[in-house]
Amino acid sequence: MAKGQKKFRSVGTRPIRHDGIDKVTGRANYGADFALPGMLWGGVLRSPHAHARVLGIDASKALEIEGVKAVITSADLPVIEAGDGPTNFWDLSRNILARDKVLYHGHAVAAVAATTAVIAARALERVEVEYEVLPQVQDVMEAMSPDAPLLHEDMFTKGLDPKPEHPSNVARRMEIARGDLENGFAQANVVVEREFTTRSVHQGYIEPHAVVARTGEDGQVVVWCSSQGHFMVRQYCATVLGLDTSQIKVIPAEIGGGFGGKTTVYLEPLAILLSQRSGRPVKIVMSREEEFRATGPAPGSRIRAKLGARNDGTLTACEAQLYFEAGAFPGSPVMAACMTMLAPYTVENLSLVGYDVCVNKPKTAAYRAPGAPIGSFAIETLIDELAEMLGIDPVDLRLHNAAHEGSQAPYGPKFRRIGYRETLETARAHPQYRTPLERNQGRGVASGFWFNAGMQSSAAVNVNEDGTVQVVSPNPDIGGSRVSLALMAAEELGIDVERVRPVVADTETIGYSDLTGGSRVTFATGMAVVEAARKVIEQLRERAAKIWGIDVSQVEWNEGYALPGQGNGEHDPLSLAEIATSASRTGGTICGNVSLNARGAAPGFATHICDVEVDPETGRVEILRYAAVQDVGKAIHPSYVEGQMQGGVAQGIGWALNEELVYDEDGVLENPGFLDYRIPVASDLPMIDTILVEVANPTHPYGVRGVGEVPIVPPLAAVANAIYAATGVRMRDLPISPPRLVDALDGKHSG
Amino acid sequence: MDPKTHVHTHINGEPVEFLSEAYRSLLEILRDELMLTGTKEGCTTGDCGACSVTLDGRLVCSCLVLAVEAEGRRVGTVEGIARGETLHPVQQKLLEHAALQCGVCTPGIVVAATSLLERNPDPTEREVRYWLAGNLCRCTGYDKIIRAVLDAASELRGASPNVLE
Amino acid sequence: MESVRYEAPRELSAAIELLDSVEGARVLAGGTDLLIQLRAALIQPSLLVDLKWIPELTAVSLDEEGLSLGAAVSCAELREHKQIERLFPGLYESAELIGSEQIQGRASVGGNLCNASPAADTVPALLATGARCVVAGPGGTRTLPCERFATGPGETILGRGELLVSIQIPKPAPGTADCYLRLIPRTEMDIAVVGAAVSVTLDASGSCTDARVAQGAVGPTASLVPDAAAALVGGVPDVGRLEAAARAAAGASRPIDDKRGTVRYRRKVTGVLTRRAAEIAIERARQRTR
């Protein structure tokens, strides 16, 4: 029987998370909470220039200070070849410690270890670096001009035919195209073409990066750190340092937020090297300033987009060029933006071209649905404009063009069962959509899409001798995944979730798993847990069969009990606990281990409604009401699904209204702190209503779709569309900060 | 070695002594010397609230207090909020409402919210939001945190005989 | 982070002695600015003199003369004096706007003055009330109007060995009320992009007999705007007078372009906030004359 038709006993309930008490009492250990006897404190020297040649580094004066135990530079790192994998280790190595050139203000140049943090800081001041300052470039369009200063003199744009003769800051050109663009626009009765600008924003997790590394005399390395994947940390450190993977053990700390920003390494290789050099454990904790200066932002961008529709609302063609700032090294999510921006719609003719452009800013890192919010901001704003021009309700216009089962995604495949239409219909029926608005108030709607990911996951389900159960996860729990995995194990086994204890294992005690990211853990690791639990059930049935002396095929597993099939004699049902207690006599420990490469991740769609009030004299925007509707497949723990949606909305609102990394004319970051990098505070937001639409993912045993990424996609346009409705001014330049909005409003009135 | 001051203070009701250089923050001493790592460091500039503690009963950022200033004062940290095995209602309600995701801001929220409810047992949603404005949370969008604090306030009032008088 | 000593004198004279005799000594009150400057190595003091154990600096008294506010009294403690809210709602709300609850638990109005940030929230509010500073030093004690205390960004009139002891605010005349408004992009936690404070005195007929208008974050120091005050005085404040005050305030502003705002924006919003603060102060004063 398909699970989807069954009433769940655990899945869909809202138990208290198992790691909760540790987290409300301060007992939980995050990255910076770990210490070892004899531990040294490390610090990182960072470039004061946005672009400069490093002519020489002299650390001798630093080493003279009592208590300084080691100083390292890029000369201490092995030279890495680029390789073919998804991660460019040539770049990664040079991002960890600059070699030859510094490419952004904050680029690491050297690192020290000393007996105290203060001595380490004093030592950094005595490391002498000779720079030849070079012209630098911050803006993506300027970086593309032929006379722009080159970050990488040997980089030639990929994806051009013929291969270019001159090097460029454009790392790659990518294109998605189908249909006949000219014909598509010819069919259109209305066409809008606009330019959009967004600025670099930061993930803004509250916990800074932190690490402790210890090297033994045998060369074995132990690393304690918080990350979105300790297997990633192990692999990256091994590659960058030229160590065997088996030489490194990474023990995951609790992670204090990541949102994609902890999917790479910055400090870990430095701490390992310093530990190797000093023979002592080394701890490094980033300051908030370092976080903003040197860890991955999401890209600033420029987009030109053109969208056409017939009078009945049918979208006929879309053409767009997207220019994304990759930062110091290639790898912006511009392709993902191209792939996602039109995914909710069935547009037959399109050409979406993306450019990945290096600028003198930190290398961008993933940030929640990487690329998608930026592309969607453009498309969802254009759709709002078309809706107004055509006199069609913006939700109806989207419904008219909505992707559905069997329609072809712009990036290739045909969608299986998806719930986009359902989100639109639910939004249209939501009371907020009809709440009357007053003067200076406006309502905006926008939709969003994210692929969601599967990839490699491992899990173990171990039955203890008293019938309690350990679920062993390979993924750092960034927002409640322990309890979600435990719920799925409890559901399969038919026991209470309180009897299941989920743990996050280190790299030596569970099989390899990919990152916590891409909204994949509840889906993919969840599948591994379900399969492992099913293996356990097989063993439980075998044991019961043995106890009863009947064939295993005659034993059913139901709600936590083994039952003898009809005609197999009178036997009392055996509980999981009873079988577990006797396990040593019936064949030994009962456990299930599964490693899989999960396929069938199902995309997520969302539609948001935002109501704002604008103070036309000051340009301040208040979010009055917000409703987020999302197809979540199946909510395993609905509270944490709602929480993901609310958190994504809050980040999206911050992106829309106030967040931006501000660089001065020399490429120096002017706001490297939470004072002037303005993430939303509690008093900035209203309650965020969440409506969970559950269109089951047919490939997951419970119908799970990833939920974490989609909610950050719609808010940028939802807010901008609401501001338009309130003021009559279209804001296509993010963030819509008060000065920018006042300028636009005054421009409207004077012009 | 920089000169150190011998500081006598009370932390969570217990007498505590430590040595500190004048430039070190209370946060550093709590975390790195006294191993009270429940108090988190998010910024060291007073902008995130993760290091919230009480000093003589008043809510402060421990990153902006010098450790030597604790001399003769009473320090309250997240480790002192629960009574033995019994969670404070604010802690319990944060759990019941799933008002934490990564949980790193949670200790600061717990300290700040209990401080609020000591002063104002019946806060409005707006009052809770403004009181907690100095506690950044990047995961939750605050919705469930606000509900949890309001719920805890309600439970505390219900448990208090004063309400019946 | 260079080596630094710490002293917490119990008497004012001892604090003055330390500040006078030790090269590079700095006072520590709430520490919310000082610790950040210390950590960023913007300052490298040799000695920190904690003022919070000195009775004169931690006292709050309210009598027929007015309010005497010790320079080290935290904003949170100030807010517990409900009488201050009644008499000086503008000053009260300015103290309530500084940073978070956590910051207010430490930051003092006196420290806000001494840090001399152009964007300090309480300073325009103090200026609007006609507050005076009591400064003590090796040469004795002097008092001066708050508007003369700061001389530029981070600069004050304090000489060697001198410290701010208290702030004296005369009891407002009947029919007087004040208001402070600031513009920040968020609702909390930001530095003022523009601050505006207005105090007005109305007579029984509702005519404005006295006014003080101050602005912050739009010049090197917070400052009074006599022309804006003059625009409000001499009749029942109407739209014309309010607009004139707003224009005068905007005209008097000398803002800069920076990451928090542009010249154009700040000047415009100076006028807007001055008008709005005046409207609120007038409404509060009207209720008092009833």
pLDDT per residue as tens digits for the range A177-232? 999 999 999 999 999 999 999 999 999 999 999 999 999 999 999 999 999 999 99
Please report which confidence band the pLDDT of residue A6 belongs to, taking 50, 70 and 90 as the band edges: low
Q: Is A566 on the interface with C (CB under 8 A)?
A: no
pLDDT at C1 (0 to 100) = 65
**Looking at the DSSP assignment, which residues form a beta bridge with residue A136?**
none
> Does A200 contact chain C (CB < 8 Å)?
no
pLDDT tens sequence for chain C (290 residues): 678 999 999 999 999 999 999 999 999 999 999 999 999 889 999 999 999 999 999 999 999 999 999 999 999 999 999 999 999 999 999 999 999 999 999 999 999 999 999 999 999 999 999 999 999 999 999 999 999 999 999 999 999 999 999 999 999 999 999 999 999 999 999 999 999 999 999 999 999 999 999 999 999 999 999 999 999 999 999 999 999 999 999 999 999 999 999 999 999 999 999 999 999 999 999 998 87
Whether residue A3 is predicted with pLDDT greater than 80 in this model: the reply is no
- pLDDT tens, B98-127? 999 999 999 999 999 999 999 999 999 999
Chain B residue nearest residue C1, CA to CA: B23
Residue ending a domain, among A237, A271, A294, is A294
Residue C233 in tokens: 């005085």
Asked if residue A718 and residue A636 are part of one domain, the reply reads yes
Give me the residues of B, 3-62, that contact C with CB < 8 A.
3, 5, 21-23, 25, 44-47, 49, 52, 55, 58-61
Cβ A678–C186 below 8 Å, yes or no? yes
Backbone angles phi, psi at B94, to 5 degrees: -60, -40
Q: Residue C197: helix, strand or coil by DSSP?
A: strand
Q: How far is A751 from chain B (nearest CA, A)?
A: 38
User: C143 and C12 share a domain?
Assistant: yes
User: What CATH number did the domain enclosing A486 receive?
Assistant: 3.30.365.10
Q: What is the mean pLDDT of residues A371-381?
A: 98
Claim to verify: residue A509 and residue A654 sit in the same structural domain: no
| Chain A contact present for C10, CB below 8 A | no
Domains of chain B, by residue range, sit at: 4-80, 89-160
A49, pLDDT greater than 60: yes
Non-local CB neighbours of B48 within 8 Å, separated by 6+ positions: A206, A288, A674, B42, B105, B108, B134, B135, B136
| Domain assignment of residue A466, yes or no | yes
Q: How far apart are CA A710 and CA A203, in angstroms?
A: 15
Query: CA-to-CA distance for C154 and C33, rounded, in angstroms?
Result: 11
Q: How far is B98 from chain C (nearest CA, A)?
A: 24
Can you give the pLDDT at residue B164?
Answer: 39
Same domain, C62 and C145: yes
Same-domain status, C72 and C164: yes
Sequence length of chain B is 165
For residues A468 and C274, give the distance between their C-alpha atoms in angstroms, rounded to a whole number.
Answer: 67
Taking only the tens place, the pLDDT of each residue in B16-61 is 999 999 999 999 999 999 999 999 999 999 999 999 999 999 999 9
- Say yes or no: C245 and C141 in one domain: no
Contact C158, C114 (CB under 8 A): yes
* Residue A171 counted as domain residue: no
Please tell me the distance in Å from A62's CA to the nearest CA on chain C. 15
Q: Do B134 and C188 touch (CB under 8 A)?
A: yes
Task: Write the CATH number for A51.
Answer: 3.90.1170.50
* Residue A205, min C-alpha distance to chain B (Å): 6
Interface of C with B in 38-67 (CB under 8 A): 38-39, 48, 50, 52
Q: How far apart are CA A335 and CA A352, in angstroms?
A: 9
Question: For residue C259, what are the domain limits?
Answer: 176-289
Residue B52, strand partner residues:
B61
Q: Closest CB to B133: pick one of C4, C50, C189.
A: C189
Q: Do A684 and C186 touch (CB under 8 A)?
A: yes
Minimal-distance CA residue of chain B relative to C189: B134
Q: Clarify whether residues A284 and A323 are in a common domain.
A: no
Put simply, the answer to whether C188 touches B133 (Cβ < 8 Å) is yes
Neighboring chains of A (3 or more beta-carbon pairs < 8 A)? B, C
Interface of B with A in 34-73 (CB under 8 A): 35-45, 47-48, 50
Strand order in the sheet with A282-285: A68-73, A108-114, A40-46, A282-285, A210-215, A221-225, A248-252
Give the number of domains in chain C: 2
In a domain, A149, yes or no: no
**CB contact, 8 Å: B66 with chain C?**
yes
Closest CA to A519 of A344, A711, A338: A711
- A512 & A433 share domain: no
Q: Do B142 and A682 touch (CB under 8 A)?
A: yes
The pLDDT tens digits for C231-256 are 999 999 999 999 999 999 999 999 99
Those chains having 3 or more beta-carbon pairs within 8 angstroms of chain C are A, B
- Is there a contact between A206 and B146 if contact means CB atoms under 8 Å apart? no
Domain boundary among C113, C139, C170: C170
For residue A557, report the phi and psi dihedrals to the nearest 5 degrees: -110, 120
Contacts of C273 in chain A (CB under 8 A): 618
A282: its two tokens? 């080394």
The candidate with the shortest Cα–Cα distance to A382, out of A350, A412, A405, A411, is: A350
* A489 and A626, same domain (yes or no): no
Count of CB pairs separated by less than 8 Å, A with C: 60
Pairwise CA distance, residues C108 & C123, whole Å: 11
Q: How many domains does chain A have?
A: 3
How far is residue A265 from each of residues A34, A101, A238, measured CA to CA in Å? 18, 20, 11
Instruction: Name which of B23, B58, B68 is nearest C105 (Cβ-Cβ).
Output: B58
Measure C189 CA to nearest chain A CA, in Å.
7
Please give, one letter per residue, the 3-state secondary structure of chain B.
Answer: CCCEEEEEEEECCEEEEEEEECCCEHHHHHHHHCCCCCCCCCCCCCCCCCCEEEECCEEEEHHHCEHHHHCCCEEECHHHCCECCECCHHHHHHHHCCCCCCCCCHHHHHHHHHHHHHHCCCCCHHHHHHHHHHCCCCCCCCHHHHHHHHHHHHHHHHHCHHHHC
One domain, residues C184 and C156 = no
Residues A523/A706, Cβ–Cβ less than 8 Å: yes
pLDDT digits (tens, 9 = 90+) for C143-155: 999 999 999 999 9
Q: Could you tell me if C261 lies within 8 Å of chain A, comparing CB atoms?
A: yes
Q: Which of A551, A576, A598 delimits the end of a domain?
A: A598
Å from C167 to nearest chain B CA?
Answer: 23
Pair A562, A667 in one domain: no
What are A448-478's pLDDT values in tens digits?
999 998 999 999 999 999 999 999 999 999 9
- E-strand ranges in A554-670 read 555-558, 561-564, 574-575, 590-598, 604-614, 621-631
Say whether both C126 and C156 belong to one domain.
Answer: yes
Residue B91: its chain A contacts at CB < 8 A? 21, 24-25
Joined together, the tokens standing for residue A135 give: 């012209």
Q: Which structural domain range is residue A377 located in? A: 297-452+602-750
Question: Helix, strand, or coil here: A641?
Answer: helix
Sign of CA dihedral A338, A340, A342, A348: positive
3-state percent helix, strand, coil for chain C, nearest multiple of 5: 40, 25, 35
Interface of A with C in 104-143 (CB under 8 A): 118, 121-122
Answer yes or no: do A621 and A645 share one domain.
yes
Pick among A124, A290, A618, A678 to test the C interface (most C CBs inside 10 A) = A618
Query: With 90 as the cut, is the pLDDT of residue A97 above it?
Result: yes
C156 and C188 in a single domain? The answer is no
**Angle between the N-to-C axes of helices C89-97 and C263-289, in degrees from 0 to 180, rounded to the nearest 10:** 140
Q: Does the pLDDT at position A268 exceed 50?
A: yes
Q: Of 3.20.20.70, 3.40.720.10, 3.10.180.10, 3.10.20.30, which CATH number belongs to B4-80?
A: 3.10.20.30
Contact B5 C6 (CB under 8 A): yes
Closest CA to B20 of A39, C1, A209, C41: C1
Pair (C129, C20) in one structural domain: yes
A-chain CB neighbours of C188 within 8 Å are 681, 683-684
CB contact under 8 A, C265 and A658: no
CB contact, 8 Å: A630 with chain B?
Answer: no
| Nearest-neighbour CA in chain A from B162: distance (Å) | 27
- CATH classification of the domain holding C56: 3.30.465.10
What letter would DSSP give residue A282?
E
pLDDT reading at A349 higher than 90: yes
Output the pLDDT for position B159: 65
Three-state secondary-structure class, residue C150: strand
**Same domain assignment for residues A617 and A584:** no
Interface contact flag, A650 B40, Cβ < 8 Å: no
**Cβ contact C189–A620 (<8 Å):** no
CA distance C62 to C84: 8
Q: Do C193 and A670 touch (CB under 8 A)?
A: no
Q: Are A645 and A711 in contact (CB under 8 A)?
A: yes
Does B160 score more than 70 pLDDT?
no
| Of C170, C190, C209, the domain-final residue | C170
- In the numeric block, which tokens belong to residue A139? 């803006």
Q: Average of pLDDT values for A295-322?
A: 98
Asked whether residue A284 falls in the same domain as residue A424, the answer is: no
Name chain C contacts of A616, Cβ cutoff 8 Å: none
Nearest to C272 among A617, A683, A746 (CB): A617
The answer to whether residue A688 neighbours chain B at the CB level (below 8 Å) is: yes
- Same-domain status, C133 and C271: no
Is the same domain home to A44 and A16? Answer: no
Query: Among the three residues C151, C170, C189, which one is the final residue of a domain in this structure?
Result: C170
| pLDDT tens figures, C37-81 | 999 889 999 999 999 999 999 999 999 999 999 999 999 999 999
Looking at the fold, whether A344 and A437 belong to one and the same domain comes out as yes
Same domain, A612 and A553: no
Read off the amino acid at residue C93.
E
Are B32 and A115 contacting, i.e. CB atoms less than 8 angstroms apart? no
CATH topology of domain B89-160: DNA polymerase; domain 1 (1.10.150)
Task: Give residue A751's pLDDT band: very low, low, confident or very high (50, 70, 90).
Answer: very low
Q: Are B36 and B111 in contact (CB under 8 A)?
A: no
Kindly list the residues from chain C whose CB atom is less than 8 angstroms away from the CB atom of residue A739. Answer: 261-262, 264-265
